[in-house]
Amino acid sequence: MKLRQIALARSGDKGDIANLAVIALDERDYPFLVEQVTSARVRTHFGGIVRGEVVRYECPNVGALNFVLHGALGGGVTRSLALDAHGKSLSSLLLDLDLPERAGPLPEASA
């Protein structure tokens, strides 16, 4: 399954740093995202696009993961020769991440 089937993404950029948020569409999927969408997997998924560190922050109250990608914009939006090196392109690319199928049904929603 693709990440886009269970999450949406938002992004921002400043200089050569992209900030990507992955937000579970259903709060019950958040633990699965925490388990599967790691800094290492995100770094591998982007391959040579991200030259620096990928830092993940967990935001359980909103069912989101926030990733800060250093060295991700070819020197910065105004310095890059890439057609569209903005964070919004990277957030769309991140949603193409392959995830394994979940084992079993989703847990019951909390009241």
pLDDT digit string (tens) for the chain, length 111 residues: 999 999 999 988 888 888 999 999 999 999 999 999 999 999 999 988 899 999 999 999 999 999 999 998 877 655 555 544 556 678 778 888 889 987 766 667 665
Measure Cα distances from 44 to 26, 54, 89 in Å. 26, 10, 17
H runs (alpha helix) in the chain = 30-36, 39-46, 87-94
pLDDT digits (tens, 9 = 90+) for 41-50: 999 999 888 9
Residue 86 CA to residue 20 CA, distance in Å, equals 11
Domain range list for the chain: 3-94
Q: Residue 48: what residue type? A: G
Candidates 3.30.360, 3.30.70, 1.10.357, 3.30.160; correct CATH number of 3-94? 3.30.70
